Amino acid sequence: MGYRVEVFDKAMKRVGEIDEWISLDFTVRLLQAGIWQLLIKDGTPQAQLIEKGGGIAIYQDGVTKPILSGQVDVFQKYWTTVQHTGPGSLYIGGKCHNQLANRRLAFPDPLRPITEQYKAPKVRYVHRAESAGQLIFREFDMAMGSAALPDRKVAGLNLVDRKLGLPTDDVLRWDVIGPKIEEWYERRKVAYRFIYNPTTQLIDLELFQPRDRSKDVRFATELGNLREYIWTLNAPRATRAIVGCAGEGQERYYYQRIDKASEAEWGISHEIFVDRRDIPVKIDRATGKPVRENPEMTTEEFQSALYAAEEAAEEALREGEKDGNFQIYPIDTEDCAFGRDYFVGDIVTVAVDGTEYADVVREVVVSVDDGGKATDIKPKIGQQGTGEPLNLYKTVFDMQRKLRKLEARM
């Protein structure tokens, strides 16, 4: 797939095209601000097209809409005696237009200026009657659109309401709107993106739901669209959680929970201690049973304290439980290409070692050479590559089991 870059100025007007660069790298993200970076020879007419406040729109061959657009926020001159000689090179980069969602807060009362927020309710409740799509539109509109306060309006926006998804509710107070909408997405699966419209020369708000492309877009070694895959199984880091509650010395109550299944599977017994002196339960030395730390506690309060000890143990075991994950590194082919056949937000399928796993494409990293051809395309599916990867232990365990059966037959 080939790519081209068009440039717009501070007023969102198209001013030209860049087709001579050294390298182009960009990342498209679901519900987050993607990034782009262009390395170009300095001192050339094309290098001078991009100005402060302006930006770029990246197009893919065969796709009418830009695949990413955004303002410039960094210029970096680069000169060395080895490679970037003569006038040197210029790194120009920025974030995609989704960054707009991270530049606005959800005011307790969006119709009042900052000086009058003291008159607003302590919290603002969003209405359950609105669909998730309508709720997203309304928050953007009040924060930066036509309904916003004059000094908060963002020029060049085209915000269109859309009834999409199930209703949702929440409580807002000074939340950054972008991360808040990510929370709504996890509940209602309605997403958005801000993208430059070359016809109107405005930034459109597009509201959408993930497309289920799992039957049409598959990544597998036999299809030739996987460059590499890695799956990992990790042994548990904790199988026995011991919670120390209130009480002093020999009156202290200890609760233990054991993950017997993991101990049997891995042959590991690993103890950890959780200090929870705030749980008001102590031991009755005569019976060995837990009792109230304070005799005035009600039965309900005592049961809640016992439950808190169980929850603390369960949480500790969850944090140290056995886990599994896999990373895949697809490549574009004639039959399956990013942008044309799938996009961030779509559900696709990965088939590895006889096991199929379907999840959402959260991010795609693209590197483009000086000829406009993509040299590397890296989709991240599900929670792959995040700081909180999804625990796919059962899926990866099935991969290992099926692979062993295949090896045994061979």
The answer to whether the CB of 265 falls within 8 A of the CB of 400 is no
Cβ 111 vs Cβ 142: under 8 Å: yes
d(CA 363, CA 385): 9
pLDDT attached to residue 389 = 44
Alpha helices in 117-196, H assignment, sequence order = 132-144, 177-188
Assess contact for 180 and 172: CB atoms under 8 A: yes
Q: Which residues are paired to 176 by β-bridges?
A: 105
β-strands 35-41, 89-95: how paired?
Answer: antiparallel
Closest to 271 in 3D by CA, of 315, 316, 245, 241: 241
Q: What integer pLDDT is reported at residue 290 of this predicted model?
A: 94
Provide φ and ψ at 250, rounded to 5°. -75, -5
Which helix (H) or strand (E) segment holds residue 203: the answer is strand 202-208
Scan for tokens 């406040």, then name that residue.
53
Question: Going residue by residue through the chain (410 aa), what tens digit of pLDDT does each one get?
Answer: 688 999 999 999 999 998 888 889 999 999 999 999 998 888 788 888 888 889 999 998 888 899 999 999 998 877 776 665 667 788 899 999 999 999 999 999 999 999 999 898 887 888 666 789 999 999 999 999 999 999 999 999 999 999 998 888 888 889 999 999 999 998 889 999 999 999 999 999 999 998 999 999 998 888 888 888 777 778 889 999 999 999 788 999 999 999 998 999 889 999 999 999 999 999 999 999 999 999 899 999 999 999 999 999 999 998 888 776 667 778 888 888 888 899 999 999 888 777 777 888 888 888 888 777 777 888 887 754 444 444 455 555 555 554 454 444 44
Residues 214, 347 contacting (CB under 8 angstroms): yes
